[in-house]
Homo-oligomer: A and B are copies of this chain.
Amino acid sequence: MGSAQDLDNTSGGTAPARPRGRRPGGTDTRTQLLDAARVEFAERGYDGATVRVIADRAGVDPAMVNHWFGGKEALFVAALEVPIDPVELAARVVPGPPDQMGERIVRNFLTIWDATGGRPIAAAVRSVAAHESAAKVMRQFVGRMLAAKIVGPVAPDRPELRGALVGSQMIGLGMMRYVLKLEPLASADHATVIAAVAPNVQRYLTGPLD
């Protein structure tokens, strides 16, 4: 989920002290920003939370948000510990024939999730099921990202419903394959899962819903 800026900043921990007594940039700053962001996003939602207030709460300069995360949206994703990067996902699945988007969605979820062994999914699910604040933030995330940026461009109608339906299938697939680890789905190869699931996702995207 890290931006390119993250990777460049190997010397952040030894940067010169910032003015006004704020902490120098470093991994503590990043953690403080994530903690502050979780509180702010949960309390005010994505649109209500501001980079300035989050930085204030963390006791760091607002420029540190860009420095460490590249912007508010990337901070939101990092704070939420979403088990998939929606910006990366959109870049991979939106280009291409609309009638094959279901296949691109399933293939990319599998590739990204398999690389992490599903641990981020379990963490996100646990958090969402345990805390209404996390559920609220995740709800906004799914609505903003999935419905608006991925499903919206190809949906013939009702993009919000279609986005929620696609989300329901992908969350359920993630739960079954990586958290419940139910066979044969847990260790099925990508081709098998794509052949089974992609047509259903495609119907949610562009098929008739009634």
Contact = CB atoms under 8 A, between A and B. Distances in A.
Interface in A155-185: 158, 160-161, 164-165, 167-173, 175-177, 179-185
A4 interface: no
Interface string A168-210: 1111110111011111110010001001110110011000011
Number of copies of this kind of chain in the complex: 2
A143 interface: yes
Contact of A167 (B123, B172, B188): B172
A52 interface: no
Given A160-B183, A160-B184, A172-B172, A203 B199 contact: yes
Nearest to A173: B168
Given A125-B129, A168-B173, A142 B180 contact: yes
Interface of A: 122-123, 125-126, 128-130, 135, 138-139, 142-143, 158, 160-161, 164-165, 167-173, 175-177, 179-185, 188, 192, 195-197, 199-200, 203-204, 209-210
